[in-house]
Chain A
């Protein structure tokens, strides 16, 4: 009779202990995976680091022919950064404009519009690519690229190169469209976090809506908006399929982004294009894995910076005002 409570307690503790262990293991899974992943990427790409050293990062060759193998990731790093940066330049103003519009509009318009934008965040990259390839590219080529080339092709090097629609600028524009849902909804959250009293203070001074934005909303949310933009940058950097289908698939030094209308290549697109055919016996596969490693590191850094900016802005300003 007396044994029963003890036995019950022990059993109690044990099954709960197992539960806690299981939960802890599940939680730690992500840590293990990250460590394993980085280890695998480094070790499987080791041959290329051995062969070219850090020269791999600044090299521009891309030769898979046996006996003359030479690989350099620089054109693709540049391609990724350039397309992502262009996507930001185009997409961020559009996104912030949309965020401003939706926060200011009456619920009847703002609601459905916001819903539409969020639904479009669910459209997968491959479909953006398909649409870009079969629809957008044709219009863009005829209505934007050719006129720009005719007008400025000789004078500004950015517009040189005969445009075929599969190039840096097309890929960048599609990327810009793809980051709009993210950047605009994060921007909206950030602008919503501006206390109403700030807007009222500007209003009291006799400001127009735009002046209210310049005076009360924008300075307060500047850091956060930058964070939202960098979040968009991070998304653009990691994007694969849409870019692969629209960037034109150049390799080696020819892939270096030097003009809008040149075909190029990003880190993710070279992997998508060549991974399946690359022979593990050669340096080709390690080279691609090396590219993946660089891509991963860049993506991590950008996203950490973005997180810090967004969360810091929400905390610091709030704390300061409630002085």
Chain B
């Protein structure tokens, strides 16, 4: 862990205070806290010393222009960068009380608690709808068909997909439309009973109707889950999120309650972005 320079300390303090501004300490606790996260890809730095605190049972949106590092940052929250050969992650990511990057723990124990939905739907193509949803459950040793059926119905209902597919769960997953596939992926992530849901531009590959359905799903889900969503669509962030973090060139510029960030941004850069002066 590098020691912070004065300016960096000032920024961190100001963000802390922004976050605290946004949240009354009595109301919510933080489900996930990312502290001083820096991510290198080979020689380039994708994320620079970002600290963010994610309140539980709420939706936090990450916005920013292309290449600002929001997706890179999101993926470090469930250690997805372990799969990338050149990536190096520094810093802490706390899930409740556990640092996911602590060298003494094996991430497999905890990855299950953080579900992820990707930008393009990626259901397992050789499996049926039913099998896609139960894939994670079977990994964890759940075999009781009754329970599997229950969870399948439950999660497909949560993803607003149940009514459309309930009569044909054995259908192959790739026979669904793009929007349906994405909702299936949401159900698949929910099936393993995570505590946090990470969503990387989940509706960007979808048509407006499917997008609306996904957003409805997110709004319902946040009653029980902590959701962090990356989006390049500012209107979506406004519709769906409670808190928003604005990133630029790998740094976190501002983090406030969504309404406040968009109507009264404290930072010049944020103001320029939300007014559409650059993309």
- Seen from chain A, the residues whose Cβ lies within 8 Å of a Cβ on chain B are 106-107, 195-208, 211, 215-216, 219-220, 222, 317, 320-321, 323
Contacts and interface: CB of A to CB of B under 8 A. Distances in A.
Interface in B146-202: 174, 176-178, 181, 185, 188-189, 192
A interface majority secondary structure: helix
B139 A211 contact: yes
Contact of B178 (A199, A206, A220, A323): A323
Nearest to A198: B122
Nearest to A322: B120
B118 interface: yes
A199 B120 CA distance: 13
* Most chain A CB atoms below 10 A, which of B83, B112, B126, B135: B126
Given A107-B85, A204-B189, A195 B108 contact: no
B126 A195 contact: no
B122 A219 contact: no
Contacts of B122: 195, 197-198, 200-201, 321
Given A220-B125, A320-B174, A321-B174, A203 B83 contact: yes
Chain B, interface size category, equals 20 to 34
Interface in B115-135: 115-116, 118, 120, 122-127, 135
B140 interface: yes
Contact of A206 (B118, B140, B177, B185): B140
B124 A106 contact: no
Given A220-B125, A220-B126, A323-B177, A203 B80 contact: yes
18 contacts: A196-B83, A198-B125, A201-B124, A201-B185, A201-B188, A202-B135, A203-B80, A204-B80, A204-B115, A204-B116, A205-B135, A205-B136, A206-B112, A206-B136, A206-B192, A215-B124, A219-B126, A321-B122
B78 interface: yes
A320 B112 CA distance: 28
Nearest to A107: B85
B139 A206 contact: yes
B31 to A, nearest CB: 18
A215 B127 CA distance: 10
* Most chain A CB atoms below 10 A, which of B125, B178, B192: B125
Interface string B22-65: 00000000000000000000000000000000000000000000
A219 B176 CA distance: 19
A321 B139 CA distance: 24
Contacts of B118: 197, 200-201
Nearest to A319: B174
Q: Which 7 A-B pairs have the closest CB atoms?
A: A205-B136, A206-B112, A219-B126, A197-B122, A204-B116, A206-B111, A320-B174
Contacts of B115: 204
B120 A323 contact: no
A207 B108 CA distance: 7
A220 to B, nearest CB: 7
A108 B139 CA distance: 32
Contact of B80 (A200, A206, A207): A200
* Most chain B CB atoms below 10 A, which of A202, A205, A220: A205
B139 A207 contact: yes
Contacts of B177: 323
Contacts of B188: 201, 205
Given A204-B78, A321-B174, 14 more contacts: A197-B118, A198-B124, A198-B125, A201-B118, A201-B122, A203-B83, A205-B112, A205-B192, A206-B139, A208-B108, A220-B126, A320-B125, A320-B174, A323-B178
